[in-house]
Amino acid sequence: MGAAGHTGRFVVAELRRRGITPIACGRGTDLDSALRAADAVINCAGPFAATAMPVIESAIGAGIPYLDVTAELEVVTDTFASYAGASIPIVPAAAFYGGLGDLLATAAMDDWPVADHLTIAYALSSWRPTPGTRATGKVSAQRRDGRRIAYTGHRMQFRPGDPPRTEWTFPAPVGTQPVIGEFTMADSATIPTHLDTPEISTYMTANAVDDLRAPDPSGPAAVDGRGRSAQTFLVEVVAQSQGVRRRAVASGQDIYAVTAPLVVEAATRILAGAGDAAGVASIGARFDAKDLLRSLSPEDLTPVFHASGPRSDS
The confidence score (pLDDT) of residue 117 equals: 97
What residues contact residue 248 under an 8 Å CB cut-off, 6+ apart?
A: 104, 105, 107, 108, 236, 237, 303, 304, 305, 306
Q: CA 46, 48, 50: angle at the middle one, nearest 5?
A: 100
The confidence score (pLDDT) of residue 116 equals: 97
Question: If 0-12 CB within 10 Å is exposed, 13-18 middle and 19+ buried, where does residue 307 land?
Answer: exposed
State how far Cα 307 lies from the chain centre. Answer: 23
Residue type, 80: F
Rounded-to-integer distance, Cα 210 and Cα 222, Å: 21
Residue type, 7: T
The confidence score (pLDDT) of residue 146 equals: 76
State how beta strands 117-124 and 232-241 pair: antiparallel
Q: Where are the domains of the chain?
A: 6-306
| Other C-beta atoms lying within 10 Å of the C-beta of residue 314 | 13
The confidence score (pLDDT) of residue 314 equals: 42
The confidence score (pLDDT) of residue 102 equals: 98
In this structure, what DSSP letter does residue 196 have? B
The confidence score (pLDDT) of residue 138 equals: 80
- Residue 305: strand pairing partners: 248
What residues contact residue 23 under an 8 Å CB cut-off, 6+ apart?
A: 34, 37, 38
The confidence score (pLDDT) of residue 236 equals: 97
The confidence score (pLDDT) of residue 136 equals: 81
Query: Do the Cβ atoms of 102 and 191 come closer than 8 Å?
Result: yes
The CA distances from residue 68 to 44, 128, 247, 276, 281, in Å, are 6, 22, 27, 15, 12
State how far Cα 214 lies from the chain centre. Answer: 23
* Spatial CA neighbour of 83 closest among 109, 111, 60, 62: 60
* Spatial CA neighbour of 41 closest among 8, 19, 70, 65: 65
Q: How many residues does the chain have?
A: 314
* Spatial CA neighbour of 118 closest among 296, 250, 244, 237: 237
Run means of pLDDT, 10 residues per run, the chain, 314 residues: 87 96 82 91 93 96 97 95 97 97 97 97 94 82 84 94 94 96 96 98 96 82 96 97 94 97 98 98 98 96 78 46
* Spatial CA neighbour of 93 closest among 78, 115, 107: 78
The confidence score (pLDDT) of residue 187 equals: 97
* Spatial CA neighbour of 109 closest among 267, 14, 250, 239: 239
The confidence score (pLDDT) of residue 312 equals: 46
